[in-house]
């Protein structure tokens, strides 16, 4: 039996085999969805005005000096209900034909010097604040993976598509627990899935605040 126990919630134990019996989520309630949306709008607007507005100019300069190509990388990804949306990121790779099908790996030669820095401090995700503002994403939720990743893992991991019951997030329980970056194997994705489903089942505004704090902490004090 595969069981998830997360240090922030010591009583949170979820056997993965029983997940289909636990698909009811606090986020199925309209009030909780409204509360989460207000939280997303307030924080994303604040960060867009006071961080993204000037950070974009600085990051764009380094991206352009480092390699030819656009400043932003646009990619179709999955959102709530399995629908797709255009996800915004700062470009971290040289333009290449495999960008939408081949995920980045360790020592990936496609990643630029600026790209490594942006990925190291998760700064490449900043433009997704616009996705949050437009309603395709939330600040906190399961990460939106590449369509090719969803197709691949959906075939080999039970209950994988249940993570699409809620909006994807810029960060999530899995990322704040140290599960971010390159995926080496299916087992690591399964670990992330367990935490994603735990988040869906036990969501609260307090949990979102804890995840946000842990994410900020991991960026500045890794």
Range of lowest pLDDT (98-102, 147-151, 212-216)? 98-102
pLDDT for 78 equals 93
Half-sphere exposure of 55 (CA within 13 A, CB side): 14
Q: Does residue 4 fall inside a structural domain?
A: no
Query: What tokens were used for 131?
Result: 């996705």
Question: Based on the structure, what is the number of domains in the chain?
Answer: 1
Averaged confidence pLDDT in the chain? 88
Q: Does residue 84 fall inside a structural domain?
A: yes
pLDDT for 184 equals 67
Whether residue 101 has pLDDT greater than 60: yes
Range of lowest pLDDT (97-101, 121-125, 164-168, 183-187)? 183-187
Mean pLDDT computed over 123-142: 98
Q: Does residue 19 fall inside a structural domain?
A: no
pLDDT for 214 equals 93
pLDDT for 164 equals 94
Instruction: Please give the residue that has the higher pLDDT: either 91 or 13.
Output: 91
Q: Does residue 174 fall inside a structural domain?
A: yes
- The Cα 191–Cα 163 span in angstroms is 13
- The Cα 186–Cα 147 span in angstroms is 16
Rounded to whole angstroms, what are the CA distances from 12 to 72, 148, 194, 195, 203? 38, 31, 11, 10, 12
pTM here is 0.88
Judge whether 77 and 145 are in contact, CB under 8 Å.
yes
pLDDT for 153 equals 92
Q: Does residue 1 fall inside a structural domain?
A: no
Neighbours of 213 (CB within 10 A): 12
Mean pLDDT computed over 12-34: 70
What residues make up the domain containing 46? 27-220
- The Cα 121–Cα 108 span in angstroms is 17
Q: Does residue 14 fall inside a structural domain?
A: no
Half-sphere exposure of 199 (CA within 13 A, CB side): 31
């Amino acid at each position: 039996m595969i069981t998830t126990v997360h240090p922030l919630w010591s009583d949170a134990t979820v056997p993965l085999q029983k997940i289909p019996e636990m698909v009811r989520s606090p986020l199925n309630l309209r009030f909780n969805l409204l509360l989460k949306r207000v939280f997303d709008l307030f924080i994303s607007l604040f960060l867009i005005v006071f961080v993204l507005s000037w950070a974009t100019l600085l990051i764009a300069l380094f991206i352009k000096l480092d390699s030819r190509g656009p400043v932003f990388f646009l990619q179709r990804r999955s959102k709530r209900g399995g629908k797709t949306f255009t996800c915004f990121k700062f470009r971290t790779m040289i333009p290449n034909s495999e960008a939408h099908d081949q995920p980045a790996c360790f020592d990936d030669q496609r990643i630029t010097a600026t790209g490594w820095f942006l990925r190291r401090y998760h700064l490449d995700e900043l433009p997704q604040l616009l996705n949050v503002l437009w309603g395709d994403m939330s600040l906190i939720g399961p990460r939106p993976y590449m369509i090719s990743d969803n197709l691949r893992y959906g075939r080999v991991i039970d209950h994988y598509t249940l993570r699409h019951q809620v909006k994807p997030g810029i960060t999530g329980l899995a990322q704040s627990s140290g599960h971010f970056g390159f995926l080496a194997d299916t087992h690591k994705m399964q670990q992330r899935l367990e935490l994603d489903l735990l988040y869906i089942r036990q969501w609260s505004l307090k949990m979102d605040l804890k995840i946000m704090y842990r994410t900020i902490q991991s960026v500045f004090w890794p």
